[in-house]
């Protein structure tokens, strides 16, 4: 087996900034920062028309952090120098759809956006850093949501393919790994982020709308792979889900059955379609129970079968508990909540720290799909402190890395074909879960707070040196 590539990641909406006059408004630009409350994560990821209208109001009294991100557009050269100094093998980033096509339905791209990404690809090539390109990381041009109803509309497939074709044509030669959609199962548990669906004021989503939207993303993924193969693109194409590593709360048979069902719908469904090329058996009774009726053609089903992904990837931050007991104490997770695990410690944000769960997930994913596996997101969000001398001491992150990397290497020894590990938010970015800068993942500190105050200067954390040394040791071995 080949050596594991060690990398880092950002996402355009959380990192770039450069909003005013340089890109169109997208779905992430409408998400406000709210001081941390028990409902902040829900209120900032399940948006209604009322919330979006306020975001479009120039006189809104709220701060919209994704419009600034980490000001990556301004610090691009410095940031890539830092990545090169760290010695990472692989950098995962995403293209902003609305930076290339501000409204999402233009016939030709925005030249300022093209010039920016030309710089990104050129600089990474000069530093010999391999590229893992996320073609769409949640952010959808707002015009597509308002004019076309987001991914619910089949026409959005055509708009995405225009965007996709341009990206493949102009930058396809630079890319090692392509990912058409980030955490595609988020369309189910976070429909605004995942598929651009606006929540009704009464709080309900239509399951038919959610799964029809997901189907349109499945078709777009297959069409993108088909197009790339016809174009002779050399890179490989993957799919990605958010993984939660479920455990039953008790040995009670009902809890274990609940675990199987939670995994099927929340975790495996999207990857089953994209990796195996067909809808899994367990969705038939689920659709029947929830009155889901989908518009799917035979031609689309053939596309899914003919153009499956080459590799599978997943995000993993913490494990989850499945139980039929509705009275269990809840804690937070990656855009979801779960029952607390009494055997695990948790981060300040309630995410349960479980390194062994990562090894478990690697084995489960590889056993199920038998394709190369990439850990496309993992990391530790914390409230880091910039000291007066410019240092940032983050032993908790180093400890998190040490424990999780040890389990990845054990997973490799188990026989899992692990191709890469990508540390999330390698440079501090706005958190997608809570819309704040305070929840930092990076090994590079960005001097800005959750309300956009600060000079955004970059500082190396202790974990920067630790990760650099770890990568050097892996290359020797």
* Active-site annotation, residues: 183, 377
Question: Distance between CA 428 and CA 54 in Å, rounded?
Answer: 27
The two beta strands, 130-134 and 90-94, are parallel
Count of CB atoms situated within 10 Å of the CB of 20: 8
**Residue 239 near residue 134, CB atoms below 8 Å:** no
Cα 60 off chain centre by: 28
């Amino acid at each position: 087996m080949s050596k594991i590539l060690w990398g880092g990641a950002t996402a355009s909406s959380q990192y770039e900034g450069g909003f005013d006059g340089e890109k169109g408004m997208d779905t992430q630009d409408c998400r406000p920062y709210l001081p941390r409350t028990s409902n902040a994560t829900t209120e900032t990821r399940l948006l209604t028309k009322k919330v979006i209208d306020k975001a479009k109001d120039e006189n809104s009294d709220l701060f919209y952090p994704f419009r600034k991100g980490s000001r990556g557009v301004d610090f691009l050269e410095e940031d890539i120098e830092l990545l090169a100094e760290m010695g990472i093998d692989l950098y995962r980033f995403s293209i902003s759809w609305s930076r290339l096509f501000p409204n999402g339905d233009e016939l030709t791209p925005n030249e300022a956006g093209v010039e920016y990404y030309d710089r990104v690809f050129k600089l990474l090539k000069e530093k010999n850093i391999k590229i893992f390109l996320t073609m769409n990381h949640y952010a959808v041009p707002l015009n597509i949501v308002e004019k076309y109803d987001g991914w619910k509309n089949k026409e959005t497939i055509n708009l995405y393919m225009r965007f996709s074709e341009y990206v493949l044509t102009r930058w396809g030669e630079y890319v090692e790994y392509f990912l058409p959609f980030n955490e595609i199962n988020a369309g189910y548990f976070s429909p605004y982020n995942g598929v651009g669906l606006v929540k009704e004021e009464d709080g309900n989503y239509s399951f038919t709308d959610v799964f029809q939207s997901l189907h349109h993303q499945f078709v777009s993924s297959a069409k993108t792979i088909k197009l790339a193969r016809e174009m002779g693109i050399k890179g490989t194409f993957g799919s990605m889900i958010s993984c939660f590593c479920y455990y039953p709360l008790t040995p009670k048979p009902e809890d274990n059955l609940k675990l199987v069902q939670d995994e099927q719908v929340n975790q495996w469904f999207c990857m089953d379609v994209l990796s195996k090329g067909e809808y899994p058996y367990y969705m038939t009774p689920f659709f029947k129970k929830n009155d889901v009726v989908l518009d799917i053609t035979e031609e689309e089903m053939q596309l899914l079968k003919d153009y499956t992904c080459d590799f599978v990837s997943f995000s993993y931050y913490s494990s989850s508990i499945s139980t039929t007991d509705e009275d269990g104490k809840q804690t937070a997770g990656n855009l979801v909540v779960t029952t607390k695990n009494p055997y695990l410690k948790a981060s300040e944000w309630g995410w349960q720290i479980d390194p062994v769960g990562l090894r478990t997930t690697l084995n489960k994913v590889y056993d199920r799909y038998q394709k190369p596996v990439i850990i496309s997101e993992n990391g530790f969000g914390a409230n880091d402190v910039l000291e007066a001398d410019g240092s940032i001491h983050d032993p908790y992150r180093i400890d998190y890395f040490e424990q999780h990397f040890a389990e990845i290497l054990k997973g490799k020894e188990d026989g899992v074909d692990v191709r890469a590990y990508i540390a999330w938010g390698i440079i501090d970015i706005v958190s997608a879960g809570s819309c704040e800068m305070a929840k930092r993942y990076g090994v590079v500190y960005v001097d800005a707070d959750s309300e956009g105050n600060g000079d955004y200067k970059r500082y190396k954390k202790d974990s920067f040196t630790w990760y650099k040394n770890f990568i050097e040791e892996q290359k020797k071995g």
